């Protein structure tokens, strides 16, 4: 019998350092680091027995970014000694240490991947009561075959208990991004969306000294009938699931829809999309994973729900998953992508589709009479899309859900128009040069929307006839 030969099949460091960061965008890598700070705040609150509603108060994460240096620091308690060695493995050896806090980190690659994405060195300092260490990724480490890291003790100082990460050997593309103010503003916007609910509980994030502003999902909720969101709530296999769908702004009039679909017009849909907030936002353990989605991921264009169209621009909503066991959440390793093939996610998406159908029907019924309903929408207060669920599912109209013990669904009785509209739709096509000319002459705005120009021409024509 021939001798059995053996070879080393272990992965190379180069593979992880160069390939792993390709699966994630730069902003998302930074968001992973902020996620770690939030996890630290939760561990600190657990250690200090802080009530859940107060666990983020006084906690902060600060980012200092320019073309030569990246630094992130927090006061969230640092890395406890029992977590320390595992925190620097590429892959978490065990998830049991955090099985009683609502994190979204499962795989243990976020911090390392972020450092690899940003530069070719790094210093990680952790200050925890009774345990203070500095771990270094020197420039030469990335070229060596072994994985050993330099660890040193930190002498007592005035720094708060927390983590600080500094990278000052930035990759060229990263340095180029960090010197652009537009890129930093975009990062602030993403942070404001992703951590909106955590910041509303007291957590503070700054980028170069500028506070990040939370941007949560709001829906109109009339106190006495009228415009009220759809709501669903269930607890499935240790995961709390809530869904809400409604309107957050005025319905679009047909003239506005026409303006938005005129791609080649003076003001195109491409420009309108810059401020588009329609769609469904998905939240996992208080972190936003998917923002304002209008694709089949959240039910658009599936199972009788039409594909997204500007007619539906007033419709928004949220799907929220919450569990102390992050492995049960429908989330990928990047924390910004969803595992949409799970039974849990499909159940939540089906409920979202029920809500979408109700409000898409609303927009169809009120065509050409939108202004009447818009008065009700204007008068209805805007409320947090997630917190409103608890109140709605306790209404007497809420019903039980088959095959989901304890689940509740609330389908609102939405307003219906009285009679049909007596207005007509006037539509014709003219050269863009003429539209600009009339916009300038009648409205003093050559870039006016086609509907605005059409109404101005119509009023001018009526005035001329009335004066004869």
Dig out the tokens for 93 from the structure. Answer: 């050896």
Residue 436 CA to residue 259 CA, distance in Å, equals 14
Classify residue 350 as exposed, middle or buried by CB count within 10 Å of its CB (0-12, 13-18, 19+): middle
Distance CA 280, CA 291 (A): 7
Give me the long-range contacts of 377-382 (CB less than 8 A, separation at least 24): 377/220, 377/227, 377/247, 377/249, 377/250, 377/251, 377/314, 378/250, 379/222, 380/220, 380/221, 380/222, 380/223, 380/226, 380/227, 381/220, 381/221, 381/222, 381/223, 382/218, 382/219, 382/220, 382/221, 382/248
Q: What is the pLDDT of residue 336?
A: 64
Question: Token pair for residue 249?
Answer: 């702004």
Characterise 121 by phi-psi region: left (phi > 0), alpha (psi -120 to 50), beta (else).
beta
CA distance 310 to 308: 7
The pLDDT value recorded for residue 26 is 94
Q: What is the pLDDT of residue 424?
A: 65
pLDDT of residue 177: 95
- Full DSSP string of 436-451: HHHHHHHHS-TT--HH
Take residue 285 and report the two structure tokens written for it: 């353990």
Query: For tokens 């994973």, what's the residue?
Result: 289
Q: What is the pLDDT of residue 431?
A: 84
CA 54 to chain centroid, in Å, comes to 23
> In this predicted structure, what is the pLDDT of residue 110?
79
The confidence score (pLDDT) of residue 107 equals 45
What pLDDT score was predicted for residue 104? 44
Domains along the sequence of the chain with CATH:
13-211 (3.30.565.10), 218-410 (no CATH), 432-467 (no CATH)
Closest CA to 335 of 110, 96, 111: 110
What are the counts of helices (DSSP H) followed by strands (DSSP E) for the chain? 14, 17
List of the chain residues with pLDDT < 50: 95, 104-107, 263-276
State the pLDDT at residue 16.
75
Region of 336 please: left (phi>0), alpha (psi -120 to 50) or beta: alpha
């Amino acid at each position: 019998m021939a001798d059995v030969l053996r070879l080393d099949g272990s992965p190379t460091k180069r593979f992880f350092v160069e390939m792993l960061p390709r699966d994630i965008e730069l902003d998302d890598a930074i968001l992973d680091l902020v996620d770690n700070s939030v996890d630290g705040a939760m561990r600190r609150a657990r250690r200090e027995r802080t009530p859940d509603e107060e666990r983020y108060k006084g906690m902060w994460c600060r980012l200092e970014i320019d073309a030569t240096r990246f630094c992130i620091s927090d006061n969230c308690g640092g890395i406890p000694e029992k977590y320390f060695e595992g925190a620097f493995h590429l892959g978490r050896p065990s998830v049991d240490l955090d099985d009683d806090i609502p994190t979204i980190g499962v795989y243990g690659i976020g911090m390392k991947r972020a450092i690899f994405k940003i530069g070719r060195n790094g210093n990680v300092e952790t200050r925890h009561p009774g345990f203070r260490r500095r771990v270094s990724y020197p420039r030469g480490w990335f070229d060596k075959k072994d994985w050993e890291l330099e660890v040193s003790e930190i002498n007592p100082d005035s720094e708060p208990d927390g983590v600080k990460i500094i990278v000052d050997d930035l990759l060229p593309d990263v340095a180029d991004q960090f010197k652009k103010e537009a890129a930093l503003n975009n990062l602030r916007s993403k942070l404001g969306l992703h951590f909106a609910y955590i910041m509303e509980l007291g957590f503070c994030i700054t980028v170069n000294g500028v506070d990040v502003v939370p941007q949560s999902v709001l829906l109109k909720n009339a106190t006495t009938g009228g415009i009220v969101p759809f709501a669903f709530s269930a607890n499935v296999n240790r995961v709390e699931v809530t869904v809400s769908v409604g309107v957050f702004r005025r319905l679009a009039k047909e003239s506005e829809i026409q303006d938005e679909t005129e791609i080649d017009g003076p003001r195109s849909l491409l420009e309108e999309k810059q401020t588009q907030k329609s769609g469904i936002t998905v939240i996992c353990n208080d972190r936003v994973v998917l923002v304002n989605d209008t694709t089949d991921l959240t039910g658009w264009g599936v199972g009788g729900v039409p594909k997204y169209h500007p007619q539906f621009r007033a419709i928004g909503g949220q799907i929220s998953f919450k569990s102390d066991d992050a492995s049960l959440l429908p989330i990928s390793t990047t924390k910004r992508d969803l595992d949409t093939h799970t039974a849990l996610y499909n159940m939540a998406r089906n409920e979202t589709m029920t809500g979408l159908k109700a409000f898409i029907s609303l927009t169809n019924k009120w065509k050409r009479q939108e202004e009447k309903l818009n008065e009700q929408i204007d008068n209805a207060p805007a409320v947090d899309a997630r917190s409103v669920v608890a109140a709605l599912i306790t209404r007497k109209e809420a019903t039980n859900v088959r095959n989901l013990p304890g689940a509740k669904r609330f389908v609102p009785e939405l307003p219906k128009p009285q009679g049909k509209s007596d207005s007509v739709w006037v539509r014709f096509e003219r050269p863009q040069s003429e539209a600009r000319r009339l916009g300038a002459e009648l409205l003093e705005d050559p870039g006016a929307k086609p509907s605005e120009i059409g109404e101005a021409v119509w009023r001018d024509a009526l005035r001329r006839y009335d004066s004869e």
